[in-house]
Amino acid sequence: MLNRNKEQKTDRIEHMRDGDGHVLRRTLIAPEDSCGKFKMCAKITLEPGCSIGEHPHQPDAEFCYMLEGELTILDNGEEHTVYPGDAWICGDGAVHYSKNTSDKPAVFLAVVVK
């Protein structure tokens, strides 16, 4: 299933998971087009000062890959700064958040699998 760039939908989500500001979510592959495997497959953009609030993943898991900028994330109860090329995953009931504390947009790939 091919989803061309010009056909991808971008949503602006205010206070995602009770976070600050808004999130731009560009859907790369819609759940209904993923053979039942993805809950979400998207390019996420967080502007400076914006965040995705703390939330758990169980029974699903979320894989992320940093594309541009930097983010502060919660991973296993510890905050880390992630940079382009860094990857992380959250699952098995763990909680995480992502926040942009920098002065530039942060862009990452996020895939939530069932």
| pLDDT greater than 90 at residue 103 | yes
Q: Indicate the pTM of the whole model.
A: 0.94
Task: Write the single-letter amino acid at 78.
Answer: E
Angle at 21 (CA atoms; ends 19, 22), nearest 5 degrees? 95
Measured CA to CA, the distance from residue 4 to residue 87 in angstroms comes to: 25
% of the chain at pLDDT higher than 70: 100
- Residue 112 to residue 102: CA distance in whole angstroms: 25
Q: How confident is the model at residue 97 (pLDDT cuts 50, 70, 90)?
A: very high
Q: Whole-angstrom Cα distance, residue 91 to residue 110?
A: 13
The architecture in CATH of the region 9-106 reads: Sandwich (2.60)
> Rounded CA gap, 103 and 101, in Å?
7
